Amino acid sequence: MANGEKKTVRVLIVDDDVSLRRVLEYNLQEEGYEVLTAGSGEEGLRLFEDGAPALVVTDLKMPGMGGFQLLREVKERFPDTVVIVITAFGAVEAAVEAMKAGAYDFITKPFNREALKLTVRKALDMQGLSRENRRLREELSEREEFRSIIGISPPMEEVFRVIDRVADTDATVLITGESGTGKELVARAIHNRSSRRAAPFVAINCAAIPRDLLESELFGHVKGAFTGAVRDKEGKFRQAEAGTLFLDEVGELPVELQSKLLRALQEKEVQPVGGAHTIKLDVRVVAATNADLEEAIAEGRFREDLFYRLSVIPVHLPPLRERKEDIPLLVRHFAAKHGGASVTFSPEILAVMAAYGWPGNVRELENTVERILIMRNADTIHPDDLPEKVRRGRSPQRECRVINLPDEGYSLEQLEREIVVEALERNNWNQSSAARFLHIPRHTLIYRMEKYSITTPERKK
């Protein structure tokens, strides 16, 4: 805790021993805290009600109102207040009873000044963590309608806003984002908030099904359509009647099927493999991809007309490295999900986790939390409990850093243009060599050159 922050923290000391009270006051003022003092439990309770201190340090044995009664009164009035009790050496049993009644910790007389300061610091850190936990739980409850989508960052607020606007329409939605960002969760949230919620939500991964089976999976087939077709089969479109069909990894859809998907979207009908007639359907389509479909269009791997039909409403999910303020919320969500609701993640471990790049995004974070819970030795989690690559604060993607971006940010398009030009210059403007240098096909390099109006020196005017 920085000194500037400590000056805003108010501490109440209650002890009938004047000399001890002054020593406590001096040591805590030296640390930058605002200190109130009282010589009795009754006076301490009055000061507490007037000043609402964040922390109370009280002796247990005092004339009149003792420390136990003061502890109960304080906790009844404001449960978040942290109380540290002072007890005589050898009276540890009384201190333990006080902790059972709600005290955070105890110190014994005579006390070590550094131990006192450390105990107070830890108590206030714990109080801050408790408040943060409560705030995050409140934020989470406000987002309960979005099921498992967790986030309070500005990029996620924008995602929630778009979901709210488009959920109860029939417009097709294209969800983009890196692997592990939660694209299917967004698709399910759109379905669950729509008037179609009582009908099926049907998902299909276009990259996970063999090409020769994908058409039948999507559109169905009739008996005898091909070898092994011993009975009629409904495709995913028909299974999703009146509901939502989620096409995951739609960028992997074979080109020969894209025209049939386009027709299904335009005409709202499908024709089963081997069938002579089309079947009218009422299905809302949501698609997702982690690929650059505009690049796929330029390379002839994806139909431009299908792209525009799918992306009536585009929704982009940011990678976890661009929404790091969501990490504490996600950590606690996954901890509860995997049986660690009572586990505490220290501020230090949350800071280390925020410094890591998370190339696997939310999926990698969940796996890491689950691993920590299985391997932990205690219910308070510290940085040493993290996998080594996370502890080092860098991901495999960032270990070989070749670009140092300015703090104020930089245009991605300008950066890409400069990279292409430098690759060409290093290879004497030989396009094939430059493409190999950039690990991309030559036609992709040519597309980038045309996009950014990059010409060879001989052609420059």
Which tens digits make up the pLDDT trace of 321-358? 999 999 999 999 999 999 998 999 998 899 899 889 99
DSSP E strand boundaries for 251-395: 269-270, 279-280, 284-289, 313-316, 344-345, 380-381
Indicate if the pLDDT at residue 130 is higher than 80: no
- Flag whether pLDDT at 89 surpasses 70: no
Taking the C-alpha atoms of residue 186 and residue 244, their distance in angstroms, rounded to an integer, is: 12
Is the model's pLDDT at 460 over the cut of 60? no
Q: How confident is the model at residue 137, as a pLDDT?
A: 54
The arithmetic mean of pLDDT across residues 267-296, rounded, is: 92
**Closest C-alpha among 75, 48, 70 to residue 59:** 70
Two structure tokens written together for 242: 């009146």
Residue 103 backbone phi and psi in degrees, to 5: -70, 150
* C-alpha pair distances (Å), 139 with each of 33, 136, 333: 30, 5, 12
Q: So what's the pLDDT on residue 6? A: 42
In 3D space, the residue among 38, 37, 47, 33 whose CA is nearest the CA of residue 117 turns out to be: 33
Rounded percentage of the chain residues whose pLDDT exceeds 70: 89
Give the separation between CA 441 and CA 9, rounded to whole angstroms: 61
- In whole angstroms, what is the distance from residue 150 CA to residue 144 CA? 9
Q: How many CA atoms lie within 13 A of 61 on its CB side?
A: 9
The pLDDT value recorded for residue 124 is 84
d(CA 149, CA 433): 44
32-36, 183-187, 262-266: least confidently modelled range: 32-36
Alpha helices in 233-319 (DSSP H): 236-239, 255-267, 293-298, 304-310
Cβ neighbours of 164 (radius 10 Å): 14
Q: What is the mean pLDDT of the chain?
A: 86
The burial of 102, by beta-carbon neighbours within 10 Å (0-12 exposed, 13-18 middle, 19 or more buried), is given as middle
User: What's the predicted TM-score (pTM) here?
Assistant: 0.57
Taking Cα atoms as reference points, which of 316, 327, 321 lies closest to residue 151? 327
Give the DSSP letter of residue 221. Answer: B
What percentage of the chain reaches a pLDDT higher than 90? 45
Instruction: Return the DSSP state at 1.
Output: -
Which of 72, 70, 86 is CA-nearest to residue 120? 86
Cβ atoms of 313 and 285 closer than 8 Å? no
For residues 168 and 181, the answer to whether their CB atoms sit within 8 Å is no
pLDDT on residue 429: 87
Q: Which range is least confidently modeled, 91-105, 171-185, 292-306, 351-365? A: 91-105
- How confident is the model at residue 136, as a pLDDT? 58
- pLDDT for the residue 87: 82
**pLDDT for 263 beyond 80:** yes
Q: Does residue 185 surpass a pLDDT of 70?
A: yes
DSSP annotation of 234: -
Q: Which tokens in the block code for residue 260?
A: 């049939």
